[in-house]
Amino acid sequence: MTARSAPRTTSPRARFVAVGGTEASGRAGSLWRVSEPTTPAHDVERESPAGPAEARYLTLPELSPYLSAERYEHPKELFRHVVRRLHELTEPGRAYRYADIACANGEFLYYLQSEFPHWQLHGFDYEPAFLDVARAQPSLEAVRFELVDLFEIDETHPYDIVSLLGVMSTFQDPEPVLAKLLALCASSGLIFIDGYFNEYDVEVRSVYSDNSTPEGRGKWRVDWTQHTQAKIGEYLEPLCQSVEFEEVVMGVELPRDPAKPHIDAWTFRDADGKIIITNGTRFMLNDVMLTVRR
Ligand SMILES: C[S@@+](CC[C@H](N)C(=O)[O-])C[C@H]1O[C@@H](n2cnc3c(N)ncnc32)[C@H](O)[C@@H]1O
């Protein structure tokens, strides 16, 4: 089984940054990628974001679970939640056009295909190392993958259903992302976005450096943003038929593995026995699903 290599993106928003290697070295994991760059698209060598003021989202493939296909047969609770909602909200037999934005190695599309084999599935991501894993799966042959920054995805033929999973908390400003997803979704279509959408009216932005591994040490990153349900609703409601927030119930416990990067998730139970997700930030990170009817 050989991985087809993904074409390089020309997106003005995408930028590669070399860490201990160059793209020419062809080593998966020798590059990391930043979002929301401040310079035009080109490969640049530069120092890691050395301080909180330079913090950015980084894919860090060398630390990522998306370089392997191991989790394909074990869909996350989040994926199960979306599929449950899809069974409720879609018509059996209809061949929906589906776009999974920021699909990484295609884990969710793999699960989606097993549930809805007649749908036309599309996956988009800007990390070549992750898309290579997706493209190497014979069972995902029918899925159309594209290496592209989400802001550059072609809007000419909108999709019936669009999902953005596991990424929204890396965007401090949600509006450009929401605007792009609305543009990609057909009228009356569905959009699923998970995040830490705060029911309380407090916006939270955070930057962090996970120093527990040599690869992560000193690299200041952006994540764990809590957008408020109020602000997201205020933006979306005039533009859509419906906007719904629903907590994703965490049904499995994840023991802490001290050998893993401290930023990896684990769970504990609160006084009521509810499973709470956390990580080395000490934040409570249970997902909330935003479902939009365009
Ligand atoms: C935490 S992973 C989530 C992957 C998958 N959706 C899931 O839920 O398991 C975040 C993914 O978002 C991708 N990503 C982040 N920003 C992106 C952007 N602007 N355009 C395309 N992909 C992006 C990363 O490359 C990475 O694969």
Question: Above 60 in pLDDT, residue 54?
Answer: yes
104 CA → ligand 1 middle, Å:
6
Q: Is 152 in the pocket of ligand 1 (CB under 6 A)?
A: no
Q: Residue 194: which of 99, 283, 277, 289 has the closest Cα?
A: 289
Per-residue pLDDT, 190: 98
20 CA → ligand 1 middle, Å:
22
Say whether pTM exceeds 0.85.
yes
211 class by beta-carbon count within 10 Å (0-12 exposed, 13-18 middle, 19+ buried) = middle
What mean pLDDT do residues 148-155 have? 98
103 CA → ligand 1 middle, Å:
6
With respect to residue 7, please indicate whether it lies within any of the assigned structural domains: no
Question: Above 90 in pLDDT, residue 102?
Answer: yes
With respect to residue 220, please indicate whether it lies within any of the assigned structural domains: yes
Residue 28 tokens read as 């998966």
Q: Is 194 in the pocket of ligand 1 (CB under 6 A)?
A: no
How, if at all, do strands 97-101 and 159-164 pair?
Answer: parallel
125 CA → ligand 1 middle, Å:
6
With respect to residue 199, please indicate whether it lies within any of the assigned structural domains: yes
Q: Is 289 in the pocket of ligand 1 (CB under 6 A)?
A: no
Cβ neighbour number for residue 119 with a 10 Å cutoff: 21
Domain that residue 196 falls in: 15-293
Per-residue pLDDT, 50: 79
Main-chain dihedrals φ then ψ at residue 21, nearest 5 degrees? 175, 175
Q: Give the residue with greater pLDDT, 40 vs 176.
A: 176
Question: Above 60 in pLDDT, residue 14?
Answer: no
Residue of the nearest CA to atom 16 in ligand 1? 35
260 pLDDT band (50/70/90 cuts)?
A: very high
With respect to residue 43, please indicate whether it lies within any of the assigned structural domains: yes
The atom number, within ligand 1, closest to the CA of 194 reads 8
Helices (H) then strands (E): counts for the chain: 5, 13
With respect to residue 9, please indicate whether it lies within any of the assigned structural domains: no
The C-alpha atoms of residue 294 and residue 153 are separated, in whole angstroms, by 18
Residue of the nearest CA to atom 25 in ligand 1? 127
Lowest-confidence segment of 60-69, 116-125, 181-190, 255-264 by average pLDDT: 60-69
Per-residue pLDDT, 48: 73
Question: Above 80 in pLDDT, residue 255?
Answer: yes
Q: Is 287 in the pocket of ligand 1 (CB under 6 A)?
A: no
Per-residue pLDDT, 47: 53
With respect to residue 149, please indicate whether it lies within any of the assigned structural domains: yes
**How many domains would you assign to the chain?**
1
Per-residue pLDDT, 41: 31
- CA torsion through residues 226, 228, 231, 233, sign: positive
What mean pLDDT do residues 34-52 have? 49
Per-residue pLDDT, 45: 30
Q: Residue 100: which of 35, 160, 36 has the closest Cα?
A: 160
Residue of the nearest CA to atom 2 in ligand 1? 166
With respect to residue 257, please indicate whether it lies within any of the assigned structural domains: yes
127 CA → ligand 1 middle, Å:
8
| Residue 271 CA: distances (Å) to CA of 37, 181, 253, 274 | 43, 38, 15, 7
Q: Give the residue with greater pLDDT, 37 vs 159.
A: 159
Residue 90 tokens read as 């879609």
Per-residue pLDDT, 153: 98
At 33, which helix (H) or strand (E)?
Answer: strand 31-34
Q: What is the mean pLDDT of the chain?
A: 86
29 pLDDT band (50/70/90 cuts)?
A: very low
Question: Above 60 in pLDDT, residue 33?
Answer: no
With respect to residue 242, please indicate whether it lies within any of the assigned structural domains: yes
Residue of the nearest CA to atom 10 in ligand 1? 167
Q: Which of 167, 221, 277 to mutate to test the pocket of ligand 1 (most atoms within 8 A of CB)?
A: 167
Q: What is the CATH number of the domain that holds 130?
A: 3.40.50.150
The C-alpha atoms of residue 162 and residue 145 are separated, in whole angstroms, by 14
Which residue in this structure is represented by tokens 């699960």?
A: 111
The atom number, within ligand 1, closest to the CA of 150 reads 20
The C-alpha atoms of residue 262 and residue 257 are separated, in whole angstroms, by 9
Per-residue pLDDT, 42: 27
Which residue in this structure is represented by tokens 């792009």?
A: 180
Q: Residue 184: which of 99, 95, 94 has the closest Cα?
A: 99
What mean pLDDT do residues 285-292 have? 98
Q: Is 198 in the pocket of ligand 1 (CB under 6 A)?
A: no
| Residue 36 CA: distances (Å) to CA of 107, 126, 178 | 25, 12, 15
Where does the chain have alpha helices with state H? 77-89, 107-115, 128-135, 175-184, 229-236
What mean pLDDT do residues 76-102 have? 97
Q: Which of 36, 126, 192 to mutate to test the pocket of ligand 1 (most atoms within 8 A of CB)?
A: 126
203-230 pLDDT, tens per residue? 999 999 999 999 999 999 999 999 999 9
3-state class of 61 per DSSP? helix
47 CA → ligand 1 middle, Å:
22
Please enumerate in sequence order all residues whose Cβ is within 8 A of that of 61, keeping only pairs 6 or more positions apart, or say none.
Answer: 28, 29, 31, 32, 67, 127, 129, 130
What whole-number percentage of the chain has pLDDT above 70?
A: 84
